């Protein structure tokens, strides 16, 4: 569904939540569908005014500023058709919304996915003035996902993540003879695009420094349940660190053991079928951006993962 966008001057008053961002980023957000080059052209021409005065593209908006946005030609505005959805809420206040994301759901639209968690939450909360992802989870990873309800909270949490203040822990099941009770893996990671257009990551000498600490929780015959502690937050970090060390994550269809995955999809004796990736964001610790209080949240292991572990216990005991 599309609706026409009127070609007229807009006078927009900056709210507390919009304050602090650069004028170019503000315009790119509100003028969806307008080429970036056009946004910068109207900024350079002086057609965009703040409080009736000219500004440059680096100007940071303040609460109460009145921004004059000139007519911009955009063919159509796409109205989001994402169905409204709510997810299991682990924590919510005026600053944060923290949910337990199920596996198989993308966090945002794109790459062949028309909508994700953020679009569905916005659709279900049409009165929300601000709602943004603080970080991301892979589509096939379940667990804790942070969203900010205020720009100040988003900025604060991003700073905490950059400074290594946040502590993110995952539960992951690997196949192989895992030996150490605690093991550090430090392998540099490089992002690239595969021939099919898919985003991938590999270990590469000149890649980004990456560090994961793995702790052995329990063995299940030829499998091991680990807790992964992220010291850096690179794309697909846990998956590539494990695969490159010879340990495939059960059900990982991108970096895992594809023959093993096919076997797992069918029940065998006491072991039930398992048809997802066993990677779950189960704990996060951070400083609350408003109160300053240390905050730790947990998301229980999903039922399908718990049932699979119980079936592995029954298999190894038989």
Sorted by where each starts, the structural domains of the chain and their CATH numbers stand as: 8-71 (3.10.290.10), 88-153 (3.30.70.580), 160-317 (3.30.2350.10)
The predicted-structure confidence for 229-270, as pLDDT tens digits, reads as follows: 999 999 999 999 999 999 999 999 999 999 999 999 999 999
Phi/psi for 257 (5° steps) reads: -95, 105
Query: pTM, whole model, 2 decimals?
Result: 0.79
Reference 257, options 270, 242, 272; nearest CA is 242
Tell me the mean pLDDT in the region 193-203.
86
**Measuring CA to CA, how many Å separate 123 from each of 80, 86, 229?**
8, 10, 33
Residue 212, pLDDT above cutoff 80: yes
Decide which of 39 and 252 is more confident. 252
Range with the poorest average pLDDT among 13-22, 171-180, 210-219: 13-22
| Annotated active-site residue in 24, 56, 100, 138 | 138
Sign of CA dihedral 131, 137, 139, 141: negative
Q: How many CB atoms lie within 10 A of CB 100?
A: 20
Give dist(CA 288, CA 254) in Å, integer: 35
Phi-psi label, residue 244: left if phi above 0, alpha if psi -120 to 50, beta otherwise: alpha
Give dist(CA 318, CA 316) in Å, integer: 6
Residue 170 banded pLDDT, cuts 50, 70, 90 = very high
The predicted-structure confidence for 218-231, as pLDDT tens digits, reads as follows: 999 999 999 999 99
138 is catalytic: yes
Q: What is the mean pLDDT of the chain?
A: 90
């Amino acid at each position: 569904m599309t609706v026409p966008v009127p070609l007229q001057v807009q006078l927009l008053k900056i709210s507390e939540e919009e304050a602090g961002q650069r004028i170019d980023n503000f315009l790119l957000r509100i003028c969806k569908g307008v080429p970036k080059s056009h946004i910068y052209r109207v900024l350079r021409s002086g057609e965009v005014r703040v409080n009736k005065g000219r500004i440059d593209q680096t100007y940071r908006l303040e609460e109460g500023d009145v921004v004059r946005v000139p007519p911009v030609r955009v063919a159509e505005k796409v109205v989001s058709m994402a169905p409204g959805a709510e997810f299991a809420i682990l924590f919510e206040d005026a600053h944060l919304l923290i949910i337990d994301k199920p596996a198989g759901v993308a966090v945002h639209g794109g790459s062949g996915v028309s909508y994700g968690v953020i679009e569905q939450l916005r659709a279900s909360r049409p009165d929300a003035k601000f709602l943004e992802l603080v970080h991301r989870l892979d589509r096939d990873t379940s667990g804790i996902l942070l969203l900010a309800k205020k720009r100040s909270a988003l900025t604060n949490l991003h700073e905490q993540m950059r400074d290594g203040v946040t502590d993110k822990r995952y539960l992951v099941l690997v196949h192989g003879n895992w030996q150490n009770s605690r093991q550090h893996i430090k392998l540099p990671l490089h992002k690239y695009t595969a021939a099919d257009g898919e985003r991938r990551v590999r270990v590469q000498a000149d890649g980004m420094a990456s560090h994961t600490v793995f702790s052995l929780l329990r063995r299940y015959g030829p499998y091991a349940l680990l807790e992964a502690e992220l010291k850096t937050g690179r794309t697909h970090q846990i998956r590539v660190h494990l695969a490159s060390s010879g340990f495939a994550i059960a059900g990982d269809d991108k970096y895992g053991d594809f023959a093993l995955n096919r076997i797992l999809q069918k029940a065998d004796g006491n072991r039930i079928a398992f048809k997802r990736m066993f990677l779950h964001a189960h704990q996060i610790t951070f400083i609350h951006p408003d109160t300053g209080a240390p905050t730790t949240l947990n998301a229980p292991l999903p039922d399908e993962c718990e049932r699979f572990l119980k079936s592995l216990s029954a298999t190894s005991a038989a």
